[in-house]
Structure 1
Amino acid sequence: MPRMPDLDKRAALLRSVVAYLEDNGVSDLSLAPMAEALGTSKRMLLYYFGDRGGLLAQALDAARPDAGGIFADVTTDAEFVDAARTLWRAISRGEQRRSVTVMLQVLSLASTDPDTYQQYARMTVEVMLDPITAALTSLGHPRSDARARATLVVSGLRGLCQDVLVTGQRARIDAAAELVIAAAVAAPR
C-alpha cells in the first residue's frame, strides 16, 4: 500500500517552489535544478506535484491573491471599490507582489509558446475574472457588462503592475489604478 503524502511537507515544499519561481522565473523551468536548489529530489517534486505542468499550475494557484475571498461579500459599489483596492494592494505591495512577476512571465510565454503555457495563462486570468464578474453581477450589472468590467479590473491592474515593475513610478500608477477601479463601477454612458 502506498504511503500517504505528508501534507505539511507538501505545503512547505510548495511555498519553496513559489519562492524559487519568483527568484528564477518560469521560462527555463527544469525540475532537476529546482530540486537541487530546494534541497530535495526531482522524484519528490513529481511525487507531490505530478509533472512539471502540475507543479506550475499549483504554484500559480498558491501564489495568486484569493479574488474569491476578496470579492465574496460585495453588496455595494463602495464595497466593490474597497475590494478592488485590496486586490491592487495585494498585487502591487502585498505578499503577492513578487508572484505577479511569475504571472506576467506566464502570460507573456503563452503568446510565444502557447502549447506549453496557454492553459496556465488562461487559468490565471479566469480565476480572477470569475469572482469579480460575480460581484459586479450582484451589483446589478448584466452578465456580459459585468464580465467586461471585470476584464477592465483584471487586465488593467495587471498592466499597471507591469508598469510599476518597469518604471517604479508608484504615485502615477496608483492614481491610474484608482481610475481603473472607479471605471469598473461607473454608470454606463
Structure 2
Amino acid sequence: MARTADPVKREELLNGVVGYLERHGIGEMSLAPMAEALGTSKRMLLYYFGDRAELLAQALDASRPQLGEMFARVTTADEFVDAARTLWRELSRGGERRNVRLLLQVLSLAVTDPQTYGEAARDAVDVMIAPIAEALSVIGYPADSACARATLVVSGLRGLCQDGLVTADRPRVDAAAELLIAASVA
C-alpha cells in the first residue's frame, strides 16, 4: 500500500523551495542541488510535487500576494486606491518584495522558453488580474474595462517593481506608482 504524503512535511518543503528559488533564481533550476540545500532528496521533491514544472507552479502560487484579501472589501474608488497602495507597499517594501524577483524571472524566461515557463507565467498574471478586475467591477466598471484597468495595475506595478530593483530610485518609482494607481480609476 502506498504511503500518504505528509501535508506538514510538504508545506515545509514548499516554503523551503520558495526560499531557495528566491535566493538562487530559477534560470538554472536543478532539483538535486535544491534537494541537498533543503536537506532532502530529489526523489522526495518529485514525490511531493510531481515534476519540475509543477514544483515551480506551486512555488509561484505559494509566493504570490493574497490579492483576494487585499481587494475583497473594495466598494468605492477610494477604497480601491487604498488597496492598490497596500499592494504597492507590499511589492516594493513589504513581505512580497522578495517574491517579485521570482515572478520577474519566470515572466522573463517565459518569453524565451514558453514551453517550460509559459503556463506558469500566464497563470501568475491571470491570478493577479482576476481579484483586481473583480474589485473594479464592484465599483462600477464594465467587465472589459475592469479587466483592462486591472491589467494596467498589475503590469504597471510589476514594471515599476523591476525599475525599482534595477535603479533603486525609490522616490521616482513611488511617484510613478501613485500616478498609475490614480489613472486606473480615473
TM-score, length of structure 1 as denominator length: 0.96
Residue in 2 that maps onto 1:161:
161
The equivalent residue for 1:54 is: 54
SS at structure 2 position matched to 1:94: coil
Q: What amino acid sits opposite 2:4 in the alignment?
A: M
The alpha-carbon deviation at position 14 of structure 1 amounts to: 0.8
- Structure 1 CA distance, aligned partners of 2:36 and 2:165? 29
Distance in 1, matches of 2:13 and 2:143, equals 39
Give the share of equivalent positions with the same residue, in percent. 67
- State the Cα distance separating 1:3 from its structure 2 match: 2.0
Q: What secondary structure does 1:5 align onto?
A: coil
How far has the Cα of 1:105 moved from its partner?
Answer: 0.6
CA distance, structure 2, for counterparts of residue 77 and residue 87 of structure 1: 15
Q: Residue 26 of structure 1: SS of its match in structure 2?
A: coil
Distance 2:58 2:136 in 1: 28
Q: Kindly indicate whether residue 42 of structure 2 is the aligned counterpart of residue 42 of structure 1.
A: yes
Q: Cα deviation per residue 1:20-55 (whole Å; 9 max; x = unaligned)?
A: 000111111111111011111001111111100110
Quote the Cα distance in structure 2 between the aligned partners of 1:97 and 1:138.
28
Partner of 1:86: 86
* Equivalent in the alignment of 1:118: 118
4+ long deviations beyond 3 Å:
none
What amino acid sits opposite 1:35 in the alignment? A
Q: How many Å separate the matches in 2 of 1:50 and 1:70?
A: 31
Q: Secondary structure at the match of 2:120?
A: helix
Q: 1:116-162 deviations in whole A, cap 9, x for unaligned?
A: 11101100100000010010011110111111100110000000000
Q: 1:16-35 counterparts in 2 under 5 A?
A: 16-35=16-35
Aligned residue number for residue 99 of structure 1: 99
Q: Secondary structure at the match of 1:118?
A: helix
User: Which secondary structure state, in structure 2, belongs to the residue aligned with residue 179 of structure 1?
Assistant: helix
